[in-house]
Amino acid sequence: MARMTAAEAAVRVMELEGVTQAFGVPGAAINPLYSALLKHGGISHILARHVEAASHMAEGYTRARAGNIGVCIGTSGPAGTDMITGLYSAIADSIPILCITGQAPRARLHKEDFQAVDIESISKPVTKWSVTVREPAQVPRAFQQAFHLMRSGRPGPVLIDLPFDVQMGEIEFDIDTYEPLPVYKPAASRRQIEKALDMLAASSRPLIVAGGGIINADACDLLVEFAELTGVPVIPTLMGWGAIPDDHPLMAGMVGLQTSHRYGNATMLASDFVLGIGNRWANRHTGSPEVYTKGRKFVHVDIEPTQIGRVFMPDFGIVSDAKAALELFVSVARERKAAQQMKDYSEWADRCAERKKLMLRKSHFTETPIKPLRVYEEMNKVFPRDTIYVTTIGLSQIAGAQFLHVYGPRQWINCGQAGPLGWTIPAALGVVASDPTRTVVGLSGDYDFQFLMEELAVGAQFRLPYVQVLVNNSYLGLIRQSQRGFEMDYCVQLAFENQNVPEGEGDLRSYGVDHQAVVQGLGCKSLRVTDPEKIESALVQAQAMARQYRVPVVVEVILEKVTNIAMGTEIDNVREFEDIDCRHPEGARGLELAGLLE
Beta-sheet pairing, 2-5 with 170-173: antiparallel
Q: 46, 303, 443, 476: which is the annotated catalytic residue?
A: 476
Task: Report how far residue 545's alpha carbon sits from residue 444's, in angstroms, rounded to the nearest whole number.
Answer: 19
Backbone CA torsion sign across 451, 452, 457, 460: negative
Task: Report how far residue 446's alpha carbon sits from residue 394's, in angstroms, rounded to the nearest whole number.
Answer: 10
Q: 183, 479, 540, 597: which is the annotated catalytic residue?
A: 479
Contact 516/528 with Cβ under 8 angstroms? yes
**Helix ranges restricted to H, 280-386:** 283-286, 289-293, 322-338, 346-358, 372-382
Q: 13, 30, 37, 51: which is the annotated catalytic residue?
A: 51
Q: 25, 299, 452, 565: which is the annotated catalytic residue?
A: 25
Q: Quickly count helices (H) and strands (E) in the chain.
A: 25, 23
Contact 56/86 with Cβ under 8 angstroms? yes
Residue 102 phi/psi, 5° resolution?
-80, 165
Backbone CA torsion sign across 211, 217, 221, 223: negative
Task: Report how far residue 208's alpha carbon sits from residue 268's, in angstroms, rounded to the nearest whole number.
Answer: 10
Q: Provide DSSP, 344-365.
A: --HHHHHHHHHHHHHEEE----
Is the bond preceding 96 in cis, omega lying within 30 degrees of 0? no
Q: 234, 299, 318, 421: which is the annotated catalytic residue?
A: 421
Question: Which residue type is seen at 388?
Answer: I
- The answer to whether 51 is a known catalytic residue is yes
- The answer to whether 479 is a known catalytic residue is yes
- The answer to whether 476 is a known catalytic residue is yes
**Residue 523: helix, strand or coil by DSSP?**
coil
**Residue 430: helix, strand or coil by DSSP?**
helix
Task: Name the helix (H) or strand (E) containing 79.
Answer: helix 78-82
Contact 101/31 with Cβ under 8 angstroms? no
- The answer to whether 421 is a known catalytic residue is yes
Task: Name the helix (H) or strand (E) containing 216.
Answer: helix 212-216
Question: Which residue type is seen at 434?
Answer: S
Q: What share of the chain is helix, strand, coil (3-state, %, to 5)?
A: 45, 20, 40
- The answer to whether 257 is a known catalytic residue is no
Reported in sequence order, the residue ranges of 407-542 that DSSP labels E, i.e. its strands, are 412-414, 440-445, 467-472, 525-529
Query: 391 - beta bridge partners?
Result: 414
Contact 75/102 with Cβ under 8 angstroms? yes
Contact 209/278 with Cβ under 8 angstroms? no
Q: Which of these, 392, 368, 500, 508, lies nearest to 450 by C-alpha position?
A: 392
Question: Which residue type is seen at 223?
Answer: L
State the catalytic residues.
25, 51, 421, 476, 479
